[in-house]
Amino acid sequence: MKINIINGPNLNLLGKREPEVYGSESFNIYFEELKLKFPEIDLKFFQSNIEGEIINQIHKVGFSSDGIILNAAAYTHTSIGIGDAIKSIEVPVIEVHISNTFSREDFRHKSYITPNSKGLILGFGLDSYRLAIESFLSR
Active site residue 97: yes
Least distance to ligand DQA, CB of residue 40, Å: 26
Please give the residue ranges that form the binding site for ligand DQA (CB under 6 A).
Answer: 10, 71, 73-74, 76, 97-99, 101, 108
Count Cβ atoms below 10 Å from residue 83 Cβ, excluding itself: 20
Least distance to ligand DQA, CB of residue 63, Å: 25
Question: Could you say which of 75, 97, 112, 129 is catalytic?
Answer: 97
CA angle 26, 16, 38 (to 5 degrees): 10
Active site residue 109: no
What is the enclosing helix (H) or strand (E) of 10? Answer: none
Annotated catalytic sites, by residue? Answer: 22, 97
